[in-house]
Structure 1
Amino acid sequence: MFDFDMLGLAPALNDALARSGFTEPTPIQNQAIPLALEGHDILGLAQTGTGKTLAFGLPMIDHLLAQPGKPAPKTAKALVLAPTRELVNQISESLRGLSASTRIRVATVVGGQSIGRQIAVLSRGVDILVATPGRLIDLMDRGAVDLSTVRHLVLDEADQMLDLGFIHALRKIAPKLGTPRQTMLFSATMPKQMEELSRAYLKDPRRVQVSPPGKAADKVTQSVHFVDKAAKPSKLREILSADMDALTLVFARTKHGAEKLMKGLVADGYNAASIHGNKSQGQRDRAIKAFRDGTVTVLVATDVAARGIDIPGVAYVVNYDLPEVPDSYVHRIGRTARAGREGEAIAFCAADEIDLLRQIERLMKVEIPTGSGTRPADHVSGKPVRNSGPARRRGGGGGGGKPGGHAAAKPDHVKARRPRRRRVAA
């Protein structure tokens, strides 16, 4: 293990790290940064919330600072691709913080925002371009960006890009990039397609893996509550009422379901908002900002937010609906227990979701502890849960209250008394 100041980074980067309070790297940073500084291609496998942005951002900016000259109009020296608008904004914010006192210019292009304004920004040239694949293709088709000078490529959350069908966009973008270049690919899971992607875009990569793919963060306590579908709304309110001020992220399967759930919570006095594909980018940004500063304490989301929220204060993730893709469960619960904190992941499982739960547990190679309800007899594996202790919180079962003074769970037949909360418009 080393300190950041032992890496030989540019003084401006060391100053930025010091201002942000970073002293010791995380495991993924510990392994990836020295290799990336040497110029190797990187295949990084790590859970969400482990510090991947600094793992690729620090060596990339260091390399760019060593290169003379400004970017030519319409060009970029480095390209970072991410699957969602929220993740692109998160990465851009981190990179701007690292490069604030340098000449490095970071630009962001995503859908849902003025393409004319993005064209104007790109016309002056940028050092680092952070983009979603779809909007980048639009700009390429308009002749607004020339990628031939890109010598650093980062694919962040590459497995989700594959899930969302961006493989065709990657195949269109890659031939336009400059060579030789350094490519870094980061992912929380390693499906078969990811191996094919790494062979296609990485040259003799150094593989960096800090935990088995599909494994949740060690500090996440998990539980599953077996409930009828009709009982999910009351179960959710019971859980929320036991820790009124905690930031809780609730995942629903569909856009309509997320919006309906949020409106019901607001009507009952909860400070709730929602983000999903039917929301404009401005609405999504405002909801995340309100959630980050605590004005909104319950954020209902679809998987559009599974990897796009980096808020260390998220205490709980509730899987109101289990995801249809098992990997998504790992990414969802990775929204809590970030930056070394502890967190709790609570899942609801109705009768028609038993197979989805089986797939999740098979991927993670654990049996999630039962928080309440009865697990079907044919679904008891007896395997130990390596990353989950007893259910620590609210909602019934699992061994009592959460350390740190959170309220104990009330029995299902006792109606939770909750103070009326100031309503916040969604």
Structure 2
Amino acid sequence: MADVGDSKACNFHDMELDDRILKAIAKLRWTEPTLIQEKAIPLLLEGKDVLLRARTGSGKTAAFAIPVIQKILNYKQVAKEQVVKALVLAPSKELCQQIHKNFLELTDKCCREVRCVDISPQVDLSSQRPLLIELPDIVIATPSRALAHLKSQNLVLKHSLEFLVIDEADLIFSFGYEDEVKEVISFLPAVYQAILASATLSDDVVNLKKLVLHNPVTLKLEEPELAPASQLTHYHLAAEEDDKAAILYALLKLHLVRGKTIIFVNSVDRCYKLKLYLEQFKIPTCVLNSELPANVRCHSVHQFNQGIYDIIIASDEKALEESYSGPLAGKKSKRKKDKESGVSRGIDFQFVSNVINFDFPLDVHSYVHRAGRTARGNNQGTALSFVSVRERPLMEQVENHLKQGYSDDGSLFKKYEFKMEEVEGFRYRSKDAWRAVTRIAVREARLKEIKQEIFNSEKLKSYFVDNPRDFQVLRHDKALHTVKLQPHLADVPDYLVPHSLKRLAGVSNKRKRPFSRGTTGNISKTKARYEAKRNNPLLSMEFSGFKKKKKS
């Protein structure tokens, strides 16, 4: 094993890549490789096993996709038969779809020569068999799905595989894929080039490295796990459980939070409780969790990326695990969950301006991957965490861990200046709305949305194939209406808006000028009375014929 130090900087044209790959890169408007791409691509083109460790959003997918495509194109020049050359494993269906999309973009100019398929969707094996019979060059799947096809002999790799890629390697074991990965390896040839990509170097990654890699190069870049403080700003706001909902309501309604936002909670029930709460104030949101169908989750992320709606409420990947030994661990859940779904990890949310931790994450790695959804590439972002007294130790753990990557010795978390007494009026509305979301309402909302989405995705599948525009109109932020809605709550009266925020909220600060007298053009007091009398028919009416007779 060797650590890679500094090497001579280069760009994509210096890497001796095929012109078709360079044209695809130019179409994506990538002007120069990221640091991980600059270091990893030459090593992979040399045929080395590599462990990639770089922070979320640093371009790890392209770092392994480009050399895989290049080596397949080289093989095609002398190949006599079509075979499967690369197997890419990822822990979630959403991540598989994202990787597939990236491969399609990079093979845009050579799609006839290099074919790629994603077999992660949970459909009948027989329906995916035709895709594998054509022997695509690259197969993308979750470990359990790949194993199912290998056992059924729809996929045979014993004599053809050249590349094995495992993305988000630190989640493979935590999602319960240890046995599946070991069994998949038994179906592979003795010699192949292996690539592990991960945002962290946990003990699980070390164990997986011993299982998969042979004398690897460990490419660990000297950079913080998250974007620098100049790009990603971390805020904390002290809030107990009773105040969190009121603060969130005020932040959204007063437009203090702008841009695309992901709100993280620690359980699926909290997703729906928060959605139903915001729904009462006509704040449209959609939920993303492990219990929704895979195609619904993917479609929700796609529409969020397209800007159709701006707020997603997501449950963390810790909710997928059967048990958790952290300081805030709860009871084991009896609900059936999809272990192939991850939210704070792997999914490519695009152009996210804000991450709000409504519930503070249960450990350091969860915070890293939550905050990593924003400030991607060269974009700016903010991460705002609501922190109660019992969550304070967790925040201190996160801060101590992250400050190791920053040169500034000061506090990483900046205090979000928010005076609760100035929005006291919001609290009264909030309490009633929060109490209205009962456990029964949450349960009914979950059942209603799942039934609704299953109907949309299955019963109308053929219709949406013929009418793709109608499919785009399909919204995932529809109101669930399991809580009684009061229309007047959608508006914020002027008296609730703090004086300092009236201009930001679109409320005028100007007071009506009092009526002034004695100036030119103003009506005098006497004339005003006369005008009022003349304009009032009851006062201006004259009576005749009722004169008293004079005494003779």
TM-score by length of 2: 0.66
Identity %: 30
Matched residue, 1:247: 260
Aligned-pair CA distance for 1:287: 1.1
1:8 matched to 2:16? The reply is: yes
1:314 counterpart SS class: coil
In the alignment, structure 1 residue 384 sits paired with structure 2 residue 410: yes
* Counterpart residue identity of residue 134, structure 1: S
- How much does 1:243 deviate? 4.7
Moved over 6 A (4+): none
Q: Quote the Cα distance in structure 2 between the aligned partners of 1:71 and 1:225.
A: 61
Partners of 1:271 and 1:423 within 8 A in 2: no
How far the C-alpha of 1:324 sits from its partner, in A, is 2.2
In structure 1, the partner of 2:315 is 302
Is 2:394 the counterpart of 1:356?
yes
Per-residue CA deviation, residues 248-306 of structure 1 (Å, 9 max, x unaligned), is 01111111211221232233222211111110112112211221111110011123211
Which residue is equivalent to 1:147?
Answer: 157
Over alpha carbons, which structure has the higher Rg?
2
Q: Does the alignment pair 1:24 with 2:50?
A: no
Higher helix share: 2
| Stretch deviating more after TM superposition (47-56 or 172-181) | 172-181
Tell me the distance in 1 between the aligned counterparts of 2:55 and 2:164. Answer: 21
Aligned partners of 2:170 and 2:201 also within 8 Å: yes
1:2-81 counterparts in 2 under 5 A?
2-68=10-76, 69=79, 72=82, 76-81=84-89
2:355 to 308, 313, 317: 317
Q: CA deviation at 1:320?
A: 1.4
The answer (yes or no) to whether the contact 1:151–1:179 under 8 Å persists in 2 is: no
Give the letter for the 1:384 counterpart.
Answer: G
Tell whether the 8 Å contact from 1:81 to 1:130 is kept in structure 2 after alignment: yes
1:179 and 1:295 map into 2 onto residues whose CA distance is 48
Matched, 1:181 2:219: no
2:90 equivalent among 82, 91, 103: 82
Specify every segment of 5 or more residues in structure 2 that has no aligned partner in the other structure, as ranges.
1-8, 317-341, 427-474, 480-552
Aligned counterparts of 1:278 and 1:423: Cα–Cα separation in 2: 14
In the aligned structure 2, how far is the partner of 1:286 from the partner of 1:186?
Answer: 25
Distance 1:150 1:265, change over 3 A: farther
Matched, 1:120 2:130: yes
Unaligned runs of 5+ in 1: 369-381, 398-408, 417-421
- 1:208-232: CA deviation from partner (whole Å, max 9, x where unpaired): 122457x322122111222111221
Write the distance in 2 (CA, Å) between the matches of 1:355 and 1:244: 26
Q: Is the 8 A contact 2:116 2:136 kept in 1?
A: yes
| Change over 3 Å in CA distance of 1:13–1:143 after alignment to 2 | same
1:330 matched to 2:330? The reply is: no
1:200 is displaced (CA, Å) by 2.4
Contact 1:185 1:198 in 2 (8 A): yes
Partner of 2:532: none
Bigger shift: residues 308-317 or 275-284 = 308-317
Number of the residue aligned with 1:162: 173
Of 132, 135, 149, which aligns to 2:142? Answer: 132
Confirm or deny: 8 A CA contact 1:71 1:77 kept in the other structure: no
Distance in 2 (CA, whole Å) between partners of 1:48 and 1:412 is 38
Taking the aligned partners of 2:344 and 2:409, their CA distance within structure 1 comes to 27
Return the letter of the residue paired with 1:192: D
TM-align CA RMSD: 2.6
Assess, with a 3 A threshold, how the Cα gap between structure 1 residues 110 and 325 changes in structure 2: closer, same or farther. farther
1:220 aligns with 2:232: yes
Partners of 1:118 and 1:410 in 2: how far apart? 57
CA contact (8 A) 1:158 1:187 kept: yes
Give the Cα–Cα distance (whole angstroms) in 1 for the partners of residues 405 and 18 of structure 2: 46
Using the alignment, how far apart are the partners of 1:253 and 1:311 within structure 2? 19
**What does 1:79-118 align with in structure 2 at a 5 Å threshold?**
79-102=87-110, 103-118=113-128
Find the counterpart in structure 2 of residue 413 from structure 1. Answer: 422
| Match for residue 193 of structure 1 among 189, 204, 212 | 204
Q: Which residue of 1 aligns with 2:244?
A: 232
CA contact (8 A) 1:361 1:367 kept: no
Counterpart AA for 1:10 = D
Query: What number of residue pairs does the alignment pair up?
Result: 389
